[in-house]
């Protein structure tokens, strides 16, 4: 077997696939690599192969031999968040899906539209330029979560800081403290909801038949973390991709009905994390894919962003096209392991893009796209700043 190559972490800007990933992808779909922690792993970059393995029971989130398992920041944090659900994905999904139903998202949308409008009112009252990440991407998801989950608005900054700390990949102590703070807060929140339930998600989870306190706690922490950090990052990268492609911003002005397509296209291109190889999985048995034999216990990373740039599926994949057919996209996974929170994320992004284009038709980047930088200190990624003017 050839010597593993170092996992390519570099990222030049928000518009281009990392050169190292692009080079690997041109050589095939499955690659032997070495992670930043020094462990050997399989990196899967081909669309067909990533799609297949995202919904393949031969892979799991836990290694059948935990002592020998390769470790990465993503799998460690995910295991901490999932708690008792780490090996029971079906039960986790069954408990979460009712809260993300189309009916519940439709009922929540007016509130998201109102909150977005208020933040854009404040932005419009300012003199440009401004940092859109601070003005919109950071405050909106946390306000939406507070209302939806039933978290007091006055606590939003506290749990926002904990989730950011928990996602820190450069400081394990800070990450552990952030996760501890988040769980401690969620424990108090769940106790309060059991005493005084309301019309919110956490109260409904507490009332679910057969659920225990540890499971309620894990679900609450998972929803707070997943619903906040990821949406902050996606608002920034999706909007920046549109602003860096003025013709696509104009297309949305000409036809506001393209907003849902713009969300899907920018999610397809969105750089999730400049140093994460992909969704972490472990082989539960020996199997072969694309002529490569994977052994039980092997660490496998499914690189969705590379798969979404596969030229055999998406023509000219590095170009933003809000009218593109993205039905083959793997933005939220695939099959039984697709992201259960996709409906909430999509709805927020659709509202943001529709209102931004309508309210700020002349909005543009205040710096060159090459000056935009991704965060390297967090599991989720996203932009450090998004300077805009209008």
Question: Could you list the mean pLDDT of each consecutive 10-residue stretch along the chain, which spans 390 residues?
Answer: 64 67 86 86 95 94 66 58 67 89 95 98 98 97 93 86 84 88 90 93 92 87 86 94 95 97 94 64 95 95 92 94 96 88 96 98 95 82 94
Structure confidence at residue 229 (pLDDT): 85
Structure confidence at residue 74 (pLDDT): 56
Structure confidence at residue 169 (pLDDT): 76
- Classify residue 44: in a domain, yes or no: no
- Classify residue 210: in a domain, yes or no: yes
Structure confidence at residue 259 (pLDDT): 98
Structure tokens at 337: 């392991």
Structure confidence at residue 76 (pLDDT): 58
- Classify residue 9: in a domain, yes or no: no
CA pair distance 216, 186, nearest whole angstrom: 9
CB 194 within 8 A of CB 253: no
Helix ranges restricted to H, 244-258: 246-254
Structure confidence at residue 35 (pLDDT): 83
Plot region of 278 (φ>0 → left; ψ -120 to 50 → alpha; else → beta): left
- Classify residue 110: in a domain, yes or no: yes
The structure tokens 């079906």 sit at 90
Q: Give the CATH number, domain containing residue 214.
A: 1.10.630.10
CB 262 within 8 A of CB 268: no
Q: Is 228 exposed, middle or buried (0-12, 13-18, 19+ CB in 10 A)?
A: buried
- Classify residue 52: in a domain, yes or no: no
User: Whose CA is closest to 347, among 159, 100, 122, 139?
Assistant: 100
* Domain of residue 379, residue span: 74-271+317-389
- Classify residue 226: in a domain, yes or no: yes
**Residue 142, preceding peptide bond in cis (omega within 30° of 0):** no
Tally of structural domains, the chain: 1
Structure confidence at residue 39 (pLDDT): 87
- Classify residue 284: in a domain, yes or no: no
Structure confidence at residue 32 (pLDDT): 94
Structure confidence at residue 351 (pLDDT): 98
- Classify residue 347: in a domain, yes or no: yes
């Amino acid at each position: 077997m050839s010597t593993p190559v170092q996992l390519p972490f570099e990222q030049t800007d928000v518009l281009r696939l990392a050169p190292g990933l692009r080079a690997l992808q041109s050589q095939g779909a499955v690659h032997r690599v070495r992670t930043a922690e020094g462990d050997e792993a399989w990196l899967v970059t081909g669309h067909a192969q990533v799609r297949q393995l995202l919904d393949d029971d031969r892979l799991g989130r836990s290694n059948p031999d935990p002592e020998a398992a390769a470790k990465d920041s993503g799998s460690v944090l995910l295991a901490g968040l999932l708690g008792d659900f780490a090996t029971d994905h079906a039960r986790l999904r069954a408990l979460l899906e009712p809260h993300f139903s189309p009916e519940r998202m439709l009922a929540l949308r007016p509130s998201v539209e109102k909150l977005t409008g208020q933040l854009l009112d404040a932005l419009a009252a300012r003199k440009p330029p401004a940092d859109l990440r601070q003005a919109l991407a950071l405050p909106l998801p946390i306000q939406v979560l507070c209302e939806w989950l039933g978290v007091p608005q006055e606590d939003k900054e506290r749990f926002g800081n904990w989730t950011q700390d928990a996602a820190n990949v450069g400081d394990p102590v800070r990450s552990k403290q952030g996760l501890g703070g988040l769980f401690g807060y969620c424990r108090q929140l769940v106790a309060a909801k059991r005493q005084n339930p309301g019309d919110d998600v956490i109260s409904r989870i507490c009332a679910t038949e057969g659920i225990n306190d540890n499971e309620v706690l894990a679900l609450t922490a998972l929803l707070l973390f997943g619903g906040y950090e990821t949406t902050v990052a996606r608002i920034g990268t999706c909007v920046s991709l549109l602003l860096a492609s003025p013709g696509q911003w104009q297309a949305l002005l000409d036809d506001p009905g393209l907003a849902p397509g713009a969300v899907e296209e920018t999610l397809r291109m969105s750089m999730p994390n400049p140093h994460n190889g992909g969704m972490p999985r472990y082989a539960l048995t020996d199997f072969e894919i694309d002529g490569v034999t994977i052994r039980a216990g092997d660490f496998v990373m499914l690189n969705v962003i590379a798969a979404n740039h596969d030229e055999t599926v998406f023509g000219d994949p590095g170009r933003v096209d809000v009218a593109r057919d993205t039905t083959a996209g793997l933005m939220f996974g695939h099959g039984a392991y697709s992201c259960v929170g996709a409906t909430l994320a999509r709805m927020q992004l659709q509202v943001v893009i529709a209102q931004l284009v309508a309210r700020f038709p002349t909005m543009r980047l205040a710096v060159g796209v090459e000056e935009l930088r991704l965060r390297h200190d967090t599991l989720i990624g996203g932009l450090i700043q998004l300077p805009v003017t209008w």
